[in-house]
């Protein structure tokens, strides 16, 4: 990183409160002004990261995101505003950054960070900030950061908790050293399914910005080989020491099994979605009977006897639900399986013949049709009869049957 020769009078005025800090001063601020950072994801974490980097004068900021601003983003994605709803997040984020500091360069990429663009992008910046919300992007960002020799400042926030660490910094561990295998897809949650308290990504993203400034400005002690965990409910922070770089790591170890496409031009990057099993969520799964929302609506309209089992968490069920449904959250179904069978009428014995009664169909629903599919599979594995998933769940119900049904 080359230091610019001096700070202009305008810069001295703008960054004056940094410059008088003994920890910063002219040299650090000049390094910050001469640095470049790629921010992947302009959502809940990306918002404060981008705002603080712009304010601090990071000279060139890259923003990559393929999403558009949604009204449900605004409680936490504070870089966007109501007037930007439906516009590309990268455009909205760029305008906000430049409104804070018009003297910096902001480069935007209205696309997903993927195998096809990753190397070229990361090579072109000093550091990459992982502000995404999914496991396959985390592995991809990590691997490319390792191959390009760039630090990866990574944040995560869900519900009321968040975490933060710096990977691949001066011989420290990378994401793969700590997580050689991705978690099973069904155990992975996100803000859209589980909710997030808006300020939590705000806090983690602000800390991510702090770590980025320390690395590009070369001051303080970056959070390498340590994980910071924040619990918003008790307002407590915990810091855990992480293992050091693993010699058996598949990407930064002594004998990497992930080909380095930088040093071996004939090699290809792996398919990260496949690696993380993300494409295993087959919504119209062949192993489970299913109906569309339209088909279920005609069953209701015909008055066909059935049970409607809503498997969302109670807090979601209380927001809205279809008439005559019963609620047993998928997360509790294993422990409450006896109760589930009772509720769906599959333990009833015909008093005349002393045999189980012919069960009525059981339709399962959730928000998007994913948990209900898993719940249906669970019931089928326990020999439940006549179990049917409603594809697309309540979101699809809103789209195709009843636009007045609340969307959340
Ligand atoms: N591979 C990727 N490349 C670029 N951007 C990504 C990638 N993966 C995720 N993102 C972006 O990261 C951001 C993450 O934001 P956040 O976690 O706040 O949730 P969201 O996707 O905006 O909203 P919600 O989860 O409520 O639907 C999103 O804007 C998303 O588009």
What CATH number is given for 290-400 in this structure?
Answer: 3.40.250.10
Tell me the sheet residues that pair with 327. Answer: 310
- The answer to whether domain 35-275 and domain 290-400 are alike in fold is no
Question: What is the CB < 6 Å shell around ligand 1?
Answer: 40-44, 64-67, 72-73, 77, 89, 112-113, 131-134, 137, 190-192
CA distance 185 to 135: 9
Does 72 count as an annotated binding residue? yes
CATH number of 35-275: 3.40.50.720
The rounded Å distance from CA 145 to ligand 1 centre is: 19
- For the question of an ipTM over 0.90, the answer is yes
CA-to-CA distance for 279 and 302, rounded, in angstroms? 36
Q: Whose CA is nearest to atom 19 of ligand 1?
A: 43
In this predicted structure, what is the pLDDT of residue 193? 80
pTM of the model: 0.87
By CB atoms closer than 10 A (0-12, 13-18, 19+), residue 403 is exposed
* pLDDT by position in tens, the chain (length 408): 555 568 999 999 999 999 999 999 999 999 999 999 999 999 999 999 999 999 999 999 999 999 999 999 999 999 999 999 999 999 999 999 999 999 999 999 999 999 999 999 999 999 999 999 999 999 999 999 999 999 999 999 999 999 999 999 999 999 999 999 998 776 777 778 889 999 999 999 999 999 999 999 999 999 999 999 999 999 999 999 999 999 999 999 999 999 899 888 888 888 998 899 854 445 556 789 999 999 999 999 999 999 999 999 999 999 999 999 999 999 999 999 988 998 888 876 767 676 667 789 999 999 999 999 999 999 999 989 899 999 999 999 999 999 999 999
Joined tokens for residue 389: 């998933």
In the beta sheet, which residues pair with residue 364?
309, 389
**Which ligand 1 atom sits closest to the C-alpha of 114?**
1
pLDDT of residue 285: 67
The residue to which tokens 């550091």 are assigned: 127
Distance (Å) from CA 184 to ligand 1 centroid: 20
Q: What are the extents of the domains in the chain? A: 35-275, 290-400
């Amino acid at each position: 990183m080359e230091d610019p020769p001096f700070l202009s009078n305008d810069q001295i005025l703008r960054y004056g409160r940094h410059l008088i800090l003994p920890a910063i001063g002219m040299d650090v601020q000049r390094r910050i002004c001469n640095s470049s950072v790629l921010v992947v994801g302009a959502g809940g974490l990306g918002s404060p990261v981008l705002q603080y980097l712009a304010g601090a004068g990071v000279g060139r900021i890259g923003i990559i995101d393929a999403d558009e601003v949604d009204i449900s983003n605004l409680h936490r994605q504070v870089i966007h505003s109501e007037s930007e709803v439906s516009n590309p997040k990268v455009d909205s984020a760029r305008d906000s950054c430049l409104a804070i500091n018009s003297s910096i360069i902001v480069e935007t990429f209205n696309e997903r960070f993927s195998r096809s663009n990753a190397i070229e992008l990361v090579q072109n910046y000093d550091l990459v900030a992982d502000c995404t919300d999914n496991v396959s992007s985390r592995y991809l960002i990590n691997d490319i950061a390792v191959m390009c020799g760039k630090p990866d400042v990574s944040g995560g926030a869900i519900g009321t908790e968040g975490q933060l660490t710096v990977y691949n910094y001066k011989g420290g561990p990378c994401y793969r050293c700590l997580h050689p295998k991705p978690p099973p897809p069904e155990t992975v949650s996100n803000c859209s399914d589980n909710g997030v308290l808006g300020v939590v990504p705000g806090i983690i993203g602000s800390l991510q910005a702090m770590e980025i400034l320390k690395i590009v400005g070369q001051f303080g002690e970056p959070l390498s080989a340590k994980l910071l965990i924040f619990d918003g409910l008790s307002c407590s922070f915990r810091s855990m020491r992480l293992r050091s770089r693993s010699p058996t790591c598949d990407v930064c170890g002594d004998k990497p099994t992930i080909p380095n496409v930088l040093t071996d031009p004939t090699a290809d990057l792996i398919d990260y979605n496949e690696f993380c099993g993300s494409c295993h969520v087959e919504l119209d799964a062949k192993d489970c009977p299913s109906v569309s929302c339209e088909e279920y609506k005609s069953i209701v309209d015909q008055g066909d006897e059935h049970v409607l089992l809503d498997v969302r968490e109670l807090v979601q069920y209380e927001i809205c639900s279809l008439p005559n449904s019963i609620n047993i959250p998928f997360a509790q179904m294993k422990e409450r399986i006896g109760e589930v069978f009772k509720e769906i009428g599959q333990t009833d014995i015909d008093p005349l013949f002393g045999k189980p009664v012919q069960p009525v169909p059981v339709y399962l629903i959730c928000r998007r049709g994913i948990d209900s599919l898993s719940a249906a599979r669970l019931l089928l594995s326990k020999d439940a009869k006549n179990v049917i998933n409603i594809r697309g769940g309540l979101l699809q119900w809103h789209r195709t049957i009843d636009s007045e049904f609340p969307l959340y």
